[in-house]
């Protein structure tokens, strides 16, 4: 446990250890030799270092605990975006946890060695105890980060903004494009929220869900982020879950857009000198442009790491491999995560990515991409074990086989 | 050093990874490694953590 002495600084792993740096903000993965040199002892590693073959082999086995936990603190949100992946509603869902239950969950995550929390919803900024849970996380050595729409709860958020490592505002388009993507005209309010938050702290960015309707505006969104002096643009893939399942046909990028995404990001980053982050589920679209796999590995660019690098916790406290995944059959609670994490078969298909069939198995990015986004596979292909049906390689493979299903996917033009 | 994951992910729906360095190629990534190694060298040892 880290007590009240700042963020967790290190954690032993089978491959060695993970260190946390505060400046620059980074998690550094090292082998056992370097771990020892930097103060991680075999005693601290306990039985994690028993297998000599695991030394330096990041990805051989799931991590001993997630790097970050995604807590959906509430499903309440009054905005009603048409593509909302949680299907958030104007009233809280039945059985939502309160502050004391979330504090216990944070204690469990801290004891496991989790580094970061990503707090979301619904709209978590409207929770009267958001600051309490953020302070509790800090006290336990976890860094809380937050995504907000910026449309509600801003007055309460501004005084506690400093508690968070990074705050991003959802910004899926500028002006009318915002409304075209979200079905709600919230650009002006979200923009005003960004301006106010940026006056409070430097680590403010935007989350952009890449859709068919804002693809042409991505460069303008990077320019906007630069103009507002934000520190990052985080690009997210449209997921067909919650209300997004119905909106997928009209909002998900076309196949041509998915193939063009990486060059568009690259050009925007260079032109506007903005940092870009990419959602794990965009890894197939990045791999399509054949970057050096060694470089991807060095920057920890992975595809699906649900139930491994990350874990999701629903508003009712149930654990899932990621925010889009259904809870496992055993319906483990976040209070019992450490026990469930170690169980055989935990997180089902998410940890069985090595059994993903062709064309993933022969792909040179397989060990990184891990078959792409299982949430998308589950919704579009009906099986989380299926190769990501929006991956360009998977589409080309199906076309080469004469599989008409690939041409029936709504993303293909 | 095996990997460096830069920044913090605020997004509660996915693992966001900083891809900026990818744009500048292997040379930039290979420059990053010794810098991070040096920073690690000068930090306090994590004696209280597993």
Alpha helices in A273-346 (DSSP H): 283-287, 293-298, 337-341
Residue A59: CA count within 13 A, CB half-sphere: 18
- A7 or A17, greater pLDDT: A17
Chain A contact present for B25, CB below 8 A? yes
Whether residue A275 and residue B23 make contact (CB cut-off 8 A), yes or no, is no
Strands A276-278 and A16-21: unpaired
Give the chain B residue whose CA is nearest to the CA of A59.
B2
> Which helix (H) or strand (E) is A10 found in, with range?
strand A10-13
pLDDT digits (tens, 9 = 90+) for A97-112: 999 999 999 999 999 9
Instruction: Give SS3 for A396.
Output: helix
Answer yes or no: are the C-beta atoms of A234 and B10 closer than 8 Å.
yes
Considering only CA atoms, which of A60, A187, A165 is closest in space to residue A119? A165
> What residues of chain A lie within 8 A of the CB of B16, using their CB?
234, 236, 277-280
Give the chain A residue whose CA is nearest to the CA of B15.
A280
Report ipTM (2 d.p.): 0.91
B4, B9, B44 member nearest A298 (Cβ): B4
Question: Alpha-carbon distance A337 to A341, whole Å?
Answer: 6
In order of A145, A151, A173, A231, A232, the CA distances from A169 in angstroms are 11, 9, 12, 12, 11
- As given in the structure block, the two tokens for residue B45 are 């040892």
Instruction: Give SS3 for A271.
Output: helix
Answer yes or no: are the C-beta atoms of A297 and A255 closer than 8 Å.
no
Alpha helices in A175-273 (DSSP H): 176-182, 187-200, 218-227, 244-251, 255-272
pLDDT digits (tens, 9 = 90+) for A142-201: 999 999 999 999 999 999 999 999 999 999 999 999 999 999 999 999 999 999 999 999
- As given in the structure block, the two tokens for residue A38 are 């930097």
Tell me how crowded residue A60 is: count the other CB atoms within 10 A of its CB.
Answer: 13
- Which of these ranges, A212-216, A236-240, A297-301, B34-38, has the smallest mean pLDDT? B34-38
Min Cα–Cα distance to chain B from A369, Å: 13
- As given in the structure block, the two tokens for residue A108 are 């469990």
Considering only CA atoms, which of A47, A41, A39 is closest in space to residue A14? A47
Global confidence as pTM: 0.94
Whether residue A322 and residue B14 make contact (CB cut-off 8 A), yes or no, is yes
Whether residue A21 and residue B39 make contact (CB cut-off 8 A), yes or no, is yes
Chain A contact present for B40, CB below 8 A? yes
Chain A contact present for B31, CB below 8 A? no
Tell me how crowded residue A402 is: count the other CB atoms within 10 A of its CB.
Answer: 8
- As given in the structure block, the two tokens for residue A7 are 């963020």
Give yes or no for residue A411 having a pLDDT over 50: no
Question: Alpha-carbon distance A191 to A197, whole Å?
Answer: 10
> Which helix (H) or strand (E) is A278 found in, with range?
strand A276-278
Chain A contact present for B3, CB below 8 A? yes
Considering only CA atoms, which of B23, B7, B20, B11 is closest in space to residue A236? B11
pLDDT above 90 coverage of chain A, percent: 90
> Which helix (H) or strand (E) is A100 found in, with range?
helix A99-112
Please tell me the predicted confidence (pLDDT) of residue A410. Answer: 44
Answer yes or no: are the C-beta atoms of A188 and A149 closer than 8 Å.
no
Whether residue A9 and residue B14 make contact (CB cut-off 8 A), yes or no, is no
Average pLDDT over residues A46-54: 94
Whether residue B11 and residue A279 make contact (CB cut-off 8 A), yes or no, is yes
Cα angle B3, B7, B11 (rounded to 5 degrees) comes to 115
Residues forming a β-bridge with B4 = A28
Average pLDDT over residues A216-239: 97
Min Cα–Cα distance to chain B from A229, Å: 17
Min Cα–Cα distance to chain B from A255, Å: 21
The confidence band for B48, taking pLDDT boundaries of 50, 70 and 90, is low
Considering only CA atoms, which of B12, B32, B34 is closest in space to residue B20? B32
Spatial strand order of the sheet with B3-6 comes to A10-13, A16-21, A26-31, B3-6
Mean pLDDT of chain A: 94
**Count of residues for chain A?**
413
The confidence band for B34, taking pLDDT boundaries of 50, 70 and 90, is confident
A34, A299, A305 member nearest B15 (Cβ): A305
């Amino acid at each position: 446990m880290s007590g009240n002495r700042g963020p967790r600084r290190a954690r032993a792993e089978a491959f060695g250890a993970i260190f946390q740096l505060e400046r620059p903000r980074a998690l550094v993965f090292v082998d056992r030799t370097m771990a020892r040199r930097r103060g991680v002892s075999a005693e601290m590693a306990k039985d994690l270092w028993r297998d000599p073959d695991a030394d330096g082999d990041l990805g051989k086995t799931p991590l001993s605990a997630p790097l970050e936990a995604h807590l959906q603190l509430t499903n309440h949100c009054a905005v009603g975006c048409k593509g909302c992946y949680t299907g958030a509603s104007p009233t809280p869902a039945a059985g939502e946890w309160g502050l004391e239950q979330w504090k216990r969950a944070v204690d469990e995550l801290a004891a496991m060695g989790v580094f970061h929390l990503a707090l979301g919803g619904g709209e978590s900024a409207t929770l009267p105890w958001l600051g309490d849970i953020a302070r509790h996380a800090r006290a336990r050595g976890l860094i809380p980060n937050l995504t907000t729409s910026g449309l509600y709860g801003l007055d309460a958020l501004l005084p506690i903004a400093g508690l968070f490592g990074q705050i991003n505002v959802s910004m899926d388009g500028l002006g009318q494009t915002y409304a075209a993507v979200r079905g709600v005209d919230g650009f002006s309010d979200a923009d005003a929220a960004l301006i106010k938050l940026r006056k409070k702290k430097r680590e403010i960015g935007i989350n952009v869900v890449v859709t068919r309707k804002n693809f042409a505006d991505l460069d303008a969104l990077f320019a906007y982020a630069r103009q507002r002096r934000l520190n990052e643009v985080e690009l997210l893939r449209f997921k067909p879950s919650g209300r997004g399942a119905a909106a997928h046909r009209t909002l998900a990028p076309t196949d041509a857009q998915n193939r063009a995404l990486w060059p568009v990001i690259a050009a925007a980053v260079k032109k506007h000198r903005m940092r870009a982050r990419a959602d794990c589920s965009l890894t197939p679209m990045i791999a399509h442009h054949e970057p050096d796999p060694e470089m991807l590995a060095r920057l920890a660019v992975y595809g699906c790491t649900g139930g491994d690098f990350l874990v999701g916790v629903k508003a009712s406290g149930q654990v899932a491999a990621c925010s889009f995944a259904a809870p496992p059959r055993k319906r483990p609670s976040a209070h019992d995560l450490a026990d469930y994490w170690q169980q055989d078969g935990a997180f089902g298909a998410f940890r069985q990515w090595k059994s993903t069939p062709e064309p993933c198995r022969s792909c040179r990015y397989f060990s990184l991409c891990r078959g792409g986004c299982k949430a998308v596979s589950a919704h579009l292909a009906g099986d989380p074990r299926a190769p990501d049906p929006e991956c360009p390689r998977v589409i080309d493979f199906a076309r080469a086989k004469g599989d008409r299903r690939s041409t029936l996917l709504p993303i293909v033009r | 050093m095996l990997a460096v994951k830069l920044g913090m992910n605020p997004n509660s729906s996915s693992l966001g990874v900083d891809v900026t360095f990818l744009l500048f190629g292997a040379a930039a990534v290979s420059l990053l490694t010794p810098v991070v190694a040096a920073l690690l060298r000068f930090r306090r040892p994590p004696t209280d953590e597993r």
